[in-house]
Chains A and B, each alone.
Chain A
Amino acid sequence: MKNYFNLLLVLTNRKIKKAGLNPGLGYLLGLAAFILLAEYLFQKTSFAKYLVILVCLSFQFQLSEKNRTDFLQSTFGDKTKNKIRILENLMVSIPFVSFLLYKGLIIEASILGLCSISFALVSFHAHFNLSIPTPFSKRPFEFSTGFRRTFYLFPMAYALAFIAINVDNFNLGVFSFLLIFLTTLGFYSKPEQEYYVWVHAETPGKFLKNKMLHASKNAAFLTAPILISMLIFYPSEVALILGFFLIGLLFLWTIILAKYSSYPEEMNLPEGMIVAFSLFFPPLLLAVIPFFYLKSVNKLKFLLNDKN
């Protein structure tokens, strides 16, 4: 078990080094970014605690993936696998639980701690042999596969919007709306295998514009029920609601372009930091989007055989 965690540490350090950073500095910067972002969320919305819990659980959800847990079980046996999974989940939860405790949210921190332990004993996707229907089947792949991975979040977001309108809580409505955008950003977090870029008979510019166009259409489709309800029930806040929608779209474009600006490598710390800074100061997106766009065009020139 000790060797396994040593190996995990080596692999994580390797990833940080690949991003061009000293591992120690990488951990420090990651921690600082986490604290700043969490603090920002707590300043902006009263639902930040739920978001913190949700983000932590979503990381743990990824660790509970069936193939991964199967590998651990076949390598270490049932008992050690459970120990490893509990330790992994607790390690992931440390910053989140600590932050909740720092905010005096003892009950929420305890619930998150307990959930972390219980989630460690479950593996997901285990019985998903049936294909989950998706409205995005006509134009695969990011939204079709992403929707299937996160389908349970959408009814949750719609339910939150319904509650928000019922209890007349505008902020909660906006949160439910942003939750969908945040989820869709995750659809573009990992670079696809080069074949899936190469296969396109398009110039890099056309390829990126199509990606952005379809992402915008699909995100608009998913947010439409909340957006329309909010516009009906909060007509005085039209500008603010549409403003949030626009910012959501801009972030979606930014993530798509950030992904291809480091392609075929994964998005690195510099790109991540630029996106994080833009979260604090969204007008920055007006410079960040063209910057990432030009970088992406250059990165894709070879694979898409663009000689210009």
Chain B
Amino acid sequence: MIKIKELSKLFGNKEVLKNLSMEFSKGNVYGIVGENGAGKTTLFRCIAGLESYSGEIISDVMPLKNHLGLLLTEPFFFTMMTGREYIRLLCNARGKTNVDIDNKNIFDLPLEQYASTYSTGMKKKLAITAILLQENEYFILDEPFNGVDIQSNIILTEIILKLKELNKVVIISSHIFSTLSDTCDEIHLLRKGEQIKSVNKTGFKDLEQEMKEITIGNLIKNLELK
């Protein structure tokens, strides 16, 4: 379980997260949606302990960060570090040695090649593999489906459902609504740092429709496409 109480975050004078309260329970998958700049990544960074904040974030295992698999939107890789070494580094950091990397290379990545030379999708798949092999209890996946090929997206969806089955907490952000509706139990909508609404599975269709209307509005009409 992760409980967020009255979480706020300021960058200078700008309040980027405004009094958020949410709860993430075991065995559930949560989606965080919102436009660019809505505060999704900042929220993830606060939960991970990468940003200071006001309010409270508590979990049943402390410190949360030591049991959290964090997938950043754009994972950073050292030059001249192979895919295998990246996985080893992340596993070693959590005290997991002797991991059978080859058998668990489900995305069939070229592990002896430098990770910095991978394509965007391959980089994301490598980062996902590494946090899965860390055997975490909580997962934050910031845009996991972006840049990843359709076959791997199918695998990734199945992985998320398996994590749910294993009683883990999974929090995902995505700009592709269908990827969230396929996996999530609850979706929180953020706008300009505010928690606009939280809906469960039965309300996903309405939420998608509402987001479409708000986002598109008269924009396409204004284009006067001919």
Contacts and interface: CB of A to CB of B under 8 A. Distances in A.
A303 B84 CA distance: 25
B144 to A, nearest CB: 16
Given A131-B113, A201-B94, A305-B63, A195 B82 contact: no
A262 interface: no
Contact of A145 (B50, B52, B67, B81): B81
A131 B72 CA distance: 25
Interface in B89-127: 89-90, 92-95, 112-114, 117
A209 interface: no
Contact of B90 (A131, A137, A193, A199): A199
Contacts of B84: 137
Interface string B30-54: 0000000000000000001110100
B70 interface: yes
| Band of interface residues on A | 20 to 34
B218 interface: no
B123 to A, nearest CB: 13
Interface residues of B, number: 32
B49 A303 contact: yes
A260 B65 CA distance: 20
A303 B50 CA distance: 6
Q: Is the interface of A mostly helix, strand, loop or mixed?
A: loop
B194 interface: no
Contacts of B92: 139-140
A201 B49 contact: no
Contacts, number: 69
Nearest to B117: A129
Contact of B95 (A148, A192, A201): A201
Contact of B52 (A141, A144, A199, A302): A302
Interface in A50-90: none
A18 interface: no
A140 B81 CA distance: 8
Contacts of B70: 195, 198-199
B161 to A, nearest CB: 25
B78 A145 contact: yes
Contacts of B80: 131-132, 144-145, 148-149
Interface string B63-89: 111110010100110111110111011
Contacts of B114: 131
A237 interface: no
A143 to B, nearest CB: 11
Interface in A138-170: 138-141, 144-145, 148-149
A195 B81 contact: no
Interface in A92-141: 129, 131-132, 137-141
A281 interface: no
A302 B93 CA distance: 17
Contact of B50 (A132, A140, A149, A198): A198
A56 B171 CA distance: 50
Contact of B66 (A144, A149, A195, A201): A201
Contact of A137 (B48, B85, B95): B85
A144 B50 contact: no
B42 to A, nearest CB: 14
A191 B117 CA distance: 21
Contacts of A202: 93
Contacts of A199: 70, 90, 93-94
B64 to A, nearest CB: 8
Given A129-B117, A140-B81, A194 B50 contact: yes
Given A200-B93, A305-B65, A137 B50 contact: no
A72 to B, nearest CB: 18
A131 B76 contact: no
Given A131-B112, A137-B88, A303-B50, A144 B81 contact: yes
Given A195-B72, A201-B66, A303-B50, A140 B93 contact: no
A219 to B, nearest CB: 19
B94 A141 contact: no
Contacts of A144: 80-81, 85
A148 B116 CA distance: 14
A140 B63 CA distance: 24
B168 to A, nearest CB: 17
Interface of A: 129, 131-132, 137-141, 144-145, 148-149, 192-196, 198-202, 302-303, 305
Which 4 residue pairs spanning A and B have beta carbons closest together? A201-B66, A305-B63, A140-B85, A148-B80
Interface of B: 48-50, 52, 63-67, 70, 72, 75-76, 78-82, 84-86, 88-90, 92-95, 112-114, 117
6 contacts: A129-B117, A131-B80, A131-B114, A140-B88, A145-B79, A305-B49
